Chain A
Amino acid sequence: DVKVTQSSRYLVKRTGEKVFLECVQDMDHENMFWYRQDPGLGLRLIYFSYDVKMKEKGDIPEGYSVSREKKERFSLILESASTNQTSMYLCASSLEVGLAVTGELFFGEGSRLTVL
C-alpha cells in the first residue's frame, strides 16, 4: 500500500515562529502536493512539486515556502507563522507521466496546526 506520512498530527505554535511540516511518501511518486483544508473552503493548493528541487505555486502560496531535496520528502515551511495560518494541512502524492494529473492522489492523515 502507498503510504504518505506526515510527521506531526498536531502542532501548537506562537505567532512569528518558524514552522516545518514534513511529508514522506514511500512509493517513488513523482508529484507531491501541499493543501490546506478549512471548513467551508474545502482544499486549497498551496504548493506542489513534480520533481526533485522543482516547485510550483498553487492557489494560495503567500506566507509559505517548500523544499524538495529528495524525491520522497516534501516539506512545507511557514517562515513566520500567523494566526490566519491555523488550519489542517494535507500532503499528497501521485505517480503521473508528465504534468497532467489524471490519476489518484494519495493523502497523508493531515497536520493540524494552531497558531496562538
Chain B
Amino acid sequence: GEDVEQSLFLSVREGDSSVINCTYTDSSSTYLYWYKQEPGAGLQLLTYIFSNMDMKQDQRLTVLLNKKDKHLSLRIADTQTGDSAIYFCAVAGFQKLVFGTGTRLLVSP
C-alpha cells in the first residue's frame, strides 16, 4: 500500500523559515495535502496541491511538489510561535487519504 514518510521533529526560531518534508510511494495520487494539528485539537486542512502543479503559494505557505522524486514540501515563511503544531502530509488514494507520520514543529521565541 501507500507509504508516506516525514521526519518527526523540526525546531526553528521565530522569524525564520520552516521547511517540512514528505516522501510518498504512490505516484498516481491526484491530490496531496498538508494538515495542521494544534495541541488538543483535531486536524485542519492547511493547503493542498494538485498533482499537475509544481508549486502553490498561499500567503506565508509555499508547497513544492517534485513528482519525479515523489517529494512534497511545505515552507512556512516568517514562522511564528502560533505555528507550533504537528503537520501531516497526506496523499489521496482510492477511497481514502493516507497520512504521514507527522512532523512536530517547535517555534522558539
Residues of A at the B interface (CB closer than 8 Å) are 4, 33, 35, 40-45, 48, 50, 56, 58-59, 90, 92, 99-105, 107-110
Whether the Cβ atoms of B101 and A40 lie closer than 8 Å is yes
- The listed residue (A43, A100, A107, A110) touching B92 by CB distance below 8 A is A100
Q: Is B24 an interface residue (CB 8 A)?
A: no
- Alpha-carbon separation in the docked complex, A99 to B92 (Å): 11
Check if B43 sits within 8 Å of A90, measured CB to CB.
yes
**Bound-state Cα–Cα, A58 to B99, Å:** 13
Residues 88 to 109 of chain B near chain A (Cβ within 8 Å): 88, 92-102
* 9 pairs, CB–CB < 8 Å, chain A vs chain B: A42-B4, A42-B99, A43-B43, A48-B95, A56-B95, A101-B93, A102-B92, A103-B31, A105-B35
List residues of chain A with CB within 8 A of the CB of B48: 104
